[in-house]
Structure 1
Amino acid sequence: MSFRNDFVWGQATSAYQIEGAAFQDGKGWDIWDVFCKEEGKVFEGHSGDVACDHYHRFREDVALMKKMGVQGYRFSINWSRVFPNGTGTVNEKGLKFYHELVDELCAANIEPYITLYHWELPYELYKKGGWMNREIVEWFSDYAAFIAKEFSDKVTHFFTVNEPQCFIGLGYMTGVHAPGLKVPVRDTFLMAHHVLMAHGMAVKKMRQTAKRDILIGIAPTGSMSYPDTERPEDIEAARMHLMQVNPDLQNWTWNVTWWSDPIFRGEYPEDGLRLYKDYLPTMTPEDMKLISQPIDFYGQNIYNGNRIRMGKDGKPEVVKRYDGFPKTALGWPVTPECLYWGPYFLYERYQSPIYITENGLSCHDTVSSDGKVHDQNRIDFLEGYLKQLKHASEDGVDIRGYFHWSLMDNFEWHSGYADRFGMIYVDYRTQERIIKDSGYWYEKVIRENGEFL
């Protein structure tokens, strides 16, 4: 046994992180355009104004993907590039760019996977209240329906929103991401409810406007939980830990069930309703019916997790990491077990086909004297993680594909260009691209469908 025969090996990016051309060809401002102009918000004043200049170099980038044997490419559409005001008039030049990108991918035999919202909220909609305004359910779903109608003749797979845990939690609670606010906790629950309603309405309208049957999912994230040992009590502790809501109200968005239970089960988790009851907006049965529109697959962005054991009190407890525990250049723990147990527990609860929509690491990559980029630590990391994913697949978890984050080094949000996640090295001074050793290793993984892992 191994990965399924039709397993999709992919790469992932997002619009603001790679496209550049932030103010060209009629594109409207989005909240990241504004945020990056604020002094002290982004590392060393970096911005995505130019980024990887993918807007002008996408053909070169698709050729590099083809060279690596990539089968699927997950990218986002910048809402404000297509609708400069978020609604109303279409920017034809912006729309043309995405059509040309999709055509280029199809010509290279690379399946396009479109993400509709990877945090690029049009600034004009932000000024109208953004996610606080219930009208965003219509704004977003109308945009989603338009994209489905435009691209469904060429694109089969769509993701509605990416990592709501991040764009609500980091954008409106800690303020480290755009729009850089710290709002009352009550407001974040209202925004989260609107996000889920917008997702549901988008699913409904996209199916109505698509030119053929399409497949729709969502791509949340979260720290996974894995057992300290394979004793039944530790496995149960890890399951409990992953599926409980976060009791820390200042970081409540970081959990699985508040975002996924409403979609797959039609209700918010009971422990969350109890714990968060003083902060919740009105949530009607009609809302829940809308949110739980049937979807076709479940995307998960998984980077790391916590080792969990059952405590003497019958409650899960986090096992302290040993001194010198391995970590990435960004300081994230290296925990390959999370790519077995995360999908295992998620599939067990939601019974939905799963795509790993992001996984990877930041490395201190440099160009060596031979002109190449030798990122053995990335290869070692991915080999460990993919072995665990293969194990999960062999144990019956319905895993349909894996999208590495990221195709190329890019603008890493508030970290600017300080962190490198790509399999392609980007020299931001010249925009030169160099496939790293990991990119050539990944080509072998793809060619052999992970058999040697």
Structure 2
Amino acid sequence: MARLDFPKDFVWGTATASYQIEGAYQEDGRGLSIWDTFSHTPGKVVNNDNGDVACDSYHRYEEDVALLKNLGVKAYRFSIAWPRIFPQGTGEVNEKGLDYYRRVVDALIAAGIEPCVTLYHWDLPQALQDKGGWANRDTIDAFVKYAEVVFKAFDGKIKQWITFNETWCVSFLSNYIGAHAPGNTDLQLAVDVAHNCMVAHGQAVKKFRELGVKGQIGTTHNLYWYEPYSTKPEDVAAAHRNRAYYNEWFMDPTFKGTYPPFMVDWFREKGVEVKIQPGDLETMSQPIDFIGINFYSGGFGRYKKGEGLFDCEEVQVGFDRTFMDWNVYPDGLYKVLSWVKEEYGDIPIYITENGACYEDELTADKRVHDVLRAEYYKKHFIQCHRVIESGVPLKGYFAWSLLDNFEWAEGYKKRFGIVYTNYETLERHPKDSYYFIQKVIADGGLDV
């Protein structure tokens, strides 16, 4: 049996998002978000579920902080709901919204847990969507103003900031595939949204620096690892396009101030142009202190004319699958993190999300024996250790998610939590995966 020890300063954490856990959607002056609108539109979410109550973390955050403390994490990643701070997206600040997050942050600090805050985890104020949302560049200015208010309110207390969570989801999943709010299906719109979000990220980083906020700032991209099924040039090219759709399209502007030319050409063939204004590329590539990476899956692709957006067909090669029907590909995590270092240099990396959805059953003694999820975490922790040993500057890992919660378009059917949420009583019950992670943190590593 081999022993894998993690660095003493490695940051273990877990993560959530505001709309998925808070509930209290009409309390204390909160405005409506695009997810309120989307989830209340019949047919958009499984079982027509919504986030009106979710895990009720708005009222139960102290219970959640106690779970975090017992888990032993050094940090907790959560997001601030823009509509709680600016109910209309702009205008008057809602102090009650800021007060809620002050209570959360103070409770975390008192428990010895560092708050890591995401400014935008998808709950755009509906009032801004009514004016074009992220396709309207005025939303960039509104975001920077919102960020400025939050930076000032928490300067010195929050030391790790993330501007955006998964810009691919904000843009392509939500505005081209249409699976998430606001539910559009327009490729040009999706490319416009992606670009404007990355400009907004850069502008927020500039504001952070101008204000002299103490701490670090970065962004989070969801990366996938697609490999060619064979060495045929057409398979290699097809798999690369599919991978770049998630990876290079967002990482290149963040670090190089450019878009990958082969992807620009591909989109142009589809009649889609990237609308770059003077100064945009410089803004998008503002130096950041770290990169957050959300990793869930990957796969193998080969060329097939007309298959999807990139003439790429995914080929199943025997992966285990989660309840989301996603490939379990731990080695893909090692490969994608190694690629980040090779392609973009020694930027500090945090895995800001990684986890798995499985069908969970609460036993009579209030336990959940989620063997597959615990095994999933173990396999990915091994790859984290490998990558650290290989010289990649991986600084921390945030498990997704602390709680079972509103899983976006999947509603409450799909559970990612290491803590089971009883949606009828709102009681929380730690799963076996929770205790597995607790032991890894306490021991500083694991035996394999």
By the TM > 0.5 criterion, same fold? yes
Give the 3-state SS of the residue equivalent to 1:203 in structure 2.
helix
CA contact (8 A) 2:324 2:357 kept: yes
Deviates more, 1:276-285 or 1:67-76: 276-285
Give the secondary-structure state (helix, strand or coil) at the position aligned to 2:402: coil
Two-structure CA RMSD over aligned residues (Å):
2.4
Give 1:415's aligned amino acid: E
Deviations 1:162-218 (A, max 9, x none): 1111121221112221112223x2222222111111010010012222443x21111
The equivalences for 1:26-175 within 5 A come to 26-175=29-178
Q: How far apart, in 2, do the equivalents of 1:148 and 1:194 lie?
A: 21
1:363 aligns with 2:331: no
Amino acid corresponding to residue 210 of structure 2 in structure 1: Q
Q: Give % identity.
A: 43
How far does residue 239 in structure 1 lie from its aligned partner after superposition? 9.6
Q: Tell me the secondary structure at the aligned position of residue 445 of structure 2.
A: coil
Q: Does residue 270 of structure 1 match 2:261?
A: yes
1:309, CA displacement in angstroms? 9.7
Moved over 3 A (4+): 225-229, 236-242, 244-247, 307-310, 316-320
Shift of 1:370: 2.5
Judging changes above 3 Å, is the alpha-carbon distance between structure 1 residues 386 and 10 closer, same or farther for their aligned structure 2 residues?
same
1:345 match:
339
**Per-residue deviation at 1:285?**
4.6
2:280 equivalent in structure 1: 287
User: How do residues 291-306 of structure 1 correspond to structure 2 at under 5 angstroms?
Assistant: 291-306=284-299
Which of 4, 13, 20 is equivalent to 2:23? 20
- SS of residue paired to 2:246: coil
In the alignment, what sits opposite 1:435?
430
Alignment map for 1:392-411 (pairs within 5 Å): 392-411=387-406
Amino acid in the other structure paired with 1:75: F
Consecutive unaligned residues in structure 2, runs of 5 or more? 304-310
Q: Secondary structure at the match of 2:172?
A: helix
Whole-angstrom CA distance in 1 between matches of 2:395 and 2:104: 24
Residue type of the partner of 1:263? T
1:196 paired residue number: 198
Task: Write the letter of the residue equivalent to 1:21.
Answer: A
Change (3 A) 1:285 1:4: farther
- C-alpha change, 1:318 and 1:88, in structure 2 (3 Å) is same
8 Å contact from structure 2 (residues 223, 336) kept in 1: no
| TM-score under structure 1 length normalisation | 0.91
- Distance in structure 2 (CA, Å) of the matches to 1:348 and 1:205: 29
Shift of 1:418: 0.2
Retained in 1: the 8 A contact 2:229–2:315?
no
Question: Residues of 2 paired with 1:58 and 1:123: CA distance?
Answer: 25
Query: 2 CA distance for matches of 1:401 and 1:114?
Result: 15
Secondary structure of 1:223's aligned partner: strand
Code of the residue aligned with 1:275 in structure 2: it is W
Check the 8 A contact 2:31/2:87 in 1, yes or no.
yes
Secondary structure in 2 matching 1:429: coil
1:181 maps to amino acid = N
Distance between the aligned counterparts of 2:117 and 2:291, measured in 1?
14
Which residue matches 2:375?
380
Q: Secondary structure at the match of 1:216?
A: strand
**1:223 matched residue in structure 2:** 224
Bigger shift: 173-182 or 256-265? 173-182
Cα deviation, residue 150, structure 1: 1.1
How far does residue 57 in structure 1 lie from its aligned partner after superposition?
Answer: 0.3
Change (3 A) 1:211 1:44: same
The partner residue of 1:321 within 296, 300, 316 is 316
CA drift of 1:273 comes to 2.1
Cα distance in 1 between the residues matched to 2:339 and 2:285:
20
In 2: Cα distance, 1:254 partner to 1:412 partner: 23
Cα deviations across residues 31-88 of structure 1 (Å, max 9, x unaligned)?
Answer: 0011111111111111000000000000010001101111110100000011101111
**Aligned to 2:175, what secondary structure does the other structure show?**
helix
Secondary structure of the corresponding residue to residue 421 of structure 2: strand
Please name the residue that 1:313 is paired with: none
Q: C-alpha deviations, 1:322-359, integer Å up to 9, x for none? A: 45x41111111111111211111112111211111111
Query: How many residues are treated as equivalent by the alignment?
Result: 435
Compared with structure 1, are the counterparts of its residues 17 and 317 closer, same or farther at alpha carbon in structure 2 (3 Å cutoff)? closer
Distance 1:227 1:174 in 2: 23
1:334 corresponding residue in structure 2: 328
8 Å contact kept, 1:85–1:124 = yes
